[in-house]
Amino acid sequence: MDALLNNKVLLLNASYEPLMLVSGKKAIILLLCDKVDSLDDYPFKIRSTYMSLNLPSIIRLKEYINYRFSEIALSRKNILRRDNYTCQYCGKKLSPNKLTIDHVIPKYKGGENSWKNLVAACKACNSKKGNFVLNKINMKLIKKPIKPNFIFHFQKEISRHQNSWKQYLFLNEK
Ligand SMILES: [Zn+2]
């Protein structure tokens, strides 16, 4: 039962906006306190001496709360996560230690340390690009680097059990 209670549950605001991930245990407590409705369940039950209930996968607060999201820190780890550990020039997916962080506009050209100017790159592409500007050397990015928002964290958590989360995380659109 303990392992089941460690499953992550998507908590939505009363407005259906995603707020955070909570543990199964916390979700059950919120349900039992009548603070949330369950919108979707995992395909397994939580059983104890006193009760048996489905473990929710998505819960929604009955009352709206004001919640401000903190910014996602600009770090090597988060850039690699945003880029899905994929070189943004050749598209190769690699382990984190095989990837470097490349300045799209080189530093000496005024390129900043920012979400829009830093991308994951394999060592080969990074050294091929060197200090050049992309349009000078016929290399291009496979996608435009953007600053991720809070939904990014949830999107990375989705596993096979959480297909039903997609409609709330804007992943249904192709
Ligand atoms: Zn590459």
Query: What pLDDT is attached to residue 174?
Result: 46
Question: Higher model confidence: residue 34 or residue 44?
Answer: 34
Please indicate, yes or no, whether residues 9 and 43 belong to a single structural domain of this protein: yes
How far is ligand 1, taken at its centre, from the CA of residue 128, in Å? 9
How far is ligand 1, taken at its centre, from the CA of residue 108, in Å? 22
How far is ligand 1, taken at its centre, from the CA of residue 109, in Å? 22
How far is ligand 1, taken at its centre, from the CA of residue 23, in Å? 37
Per DSSP bridges, beta strands 99-103 and 118-122 are antiparallel
* Residue 123 included in any domain: yes
Gap between the Cα atoms of 78 and 74, Å rounded: 6
How far is ligand 1, taken at its centre, from the CA of residue 149, in Å? 25
How far is ligand 1, taken at its centre, from the CA of residue 167, in Å? 33
Please indicate, yes or no, whether residues 49 and 7 belong to a single structural domain of this protein: yes
* Residue 142 included in any domain: no
How far is ligand 1, taken at its centre, from the CA of residue 118, in Å? 14
How far is ligand 1, taken at its centre, from the CA of residue 156, in Å? 22
Query: What pLDDT is attached to residue 110?
Result: 92
Please indicate, yes or no, whether residues 41 and 81 belong to a single structural domain of this protein: no
pTM: 0.65
Q: How many domains does the chain have?
A: 2
* Residue 29 included in any domain: yes
Which residues have their alpha-adjacent CB atom under 5 A from ion ligand 1?
A: 87, 89-90, 122, 125
**pLDDT tens readout for residues 92-133:** 999 999 999 999 999 889 999 999 999 999 999 999 998 888
pLDDT greater than 70 at residue 173:
no
How far is ligand 1, taken at its centre, from the CA of residue 171, in Å? 26
Domain that holds residue 91: 76-136
* Residue 141 included in any domain: no
